[in-house]
A and B are shown apart, each in its own frame.
Chain A
Amino acid sequence: MAWYNWFGIFSLAICLAVCLYHVIRLIKLGMPVEYSGRSGSPVSGIVYSFTSAMNPSVKESASLNLPVYIAGIVYHLGTFIAGILFMTVIAGLSPSGYHLLFFAFFLFISALSGTGILIKRLTDKKLLYISLPDDYISNVLVTFFQASGGVFLLLPGSEPVFMISAGLMMLYLPVGKLRHAIYFFAARFHLGFFYGWRNVWPLHKQKVDERSK
């Protein structure tokens, strides 16, 4: 196995180990003890939190910013595809077939979405205000990871570049905002539990005609 593959495996191991540490810490800390009398269902709240609550029709952050929302989804999908590609390579499989063209195309589109998001971050006054160096670094690393994955699918000789970009991204993941790969789930879980307990989620049908009741 070439050195860059070892670098990829090494980075993956570090990334997984630190992520595991975060997950174990979360599990160990556990849920808040709730003394109030429950009026809804925390389970339904959690399910809702991960499903319908993400629907643009109930979420202004999506509906009022549809292009950014779609770019974000494409960008995340690109990361998953590039991640699968990375796993394929370290498993010693060499991707082949016509469908690779599709995936390469998708990765270029997702990298483009990432670039668009970066440009927005650099030009939008409010995003500039809230951004940290970490945000730019995270974006550049992920975007480059996706783009190099796309190139690798078309030019297998570029494997070292892809593996190095993957390794760098994975080494950075646990220390910066890319950690949201873990904390997204934890936050949505807590939110679902909280709103479910109080019968806020699942959202009540916002139409009430009870005159006849």
Chain B
Amino acid sequence: MVILEAEHLAKRFGPVTAVHDLSLTVAEGEVVALLGLNGAGKSTTLHMLLGLITPDAGSIRMFGMDLARHRTEVLSKVNFAASYVDLPGALLVTEVLDAFARLYGLRRPKARVAELIELFELEPLARRPMMALSSGQRTRVQLAKALLNAPRLLVLDEPTANLDPDAGDRIRGLLGDLARTNGSAMLITSHNMREVERMCDRIHFMSGGRIVAAGSAAELAGAYGAADLEEVFLKVARG
């Protein structure tokens, strides 16, 4: 079942065309990647899908609803984490998660927070203020926040950028499980090609605000006569 359907999205910032005529679908349980050079338009696309940026043109339907018209309903089924956002530094980890559990209108916020603290192995950090955590530890809290509402679509903008290889590996495993067991779909950007190869069912390459190639990692490698995704990236990016 298709849960996200974006058609002909466009966004300009003054003279810069950030996104141009971009269409994208995500099905239930599918893990989809947006790849591309810095400035290709990945974050702009994600932000339009999250209602942070109003598209100049095009339509966004999620769970069969128009995003602009059913913002609260749509966003209660979605969640987000990114390397460039942070959580309130003065609050304890549990307080942050508790606050967001309520912002997502959860029935039993405390119980859900406890579950996620366990899932992300945050027990030793639970009573520490956010600002005392390392950036990788904060990323884990952010990902826990992103799973609070058991989102049917998880939007992740370079989620593992701050993680050490061990934490990164475990988080990837955890997110993979989540997609398989809960049917949560994911839309991910990343500059880590191995991560994308491992996690994503479908990959979209963006360049200059457009999707220029799409397919599974294997399909793309075949089409570009490349050994791996890294090579595909370089070939696509360098024309």
Q: Are A and B physically bound partners?
A: no
Q: Give B residues with C-beta under 8 Å from A.
A: none
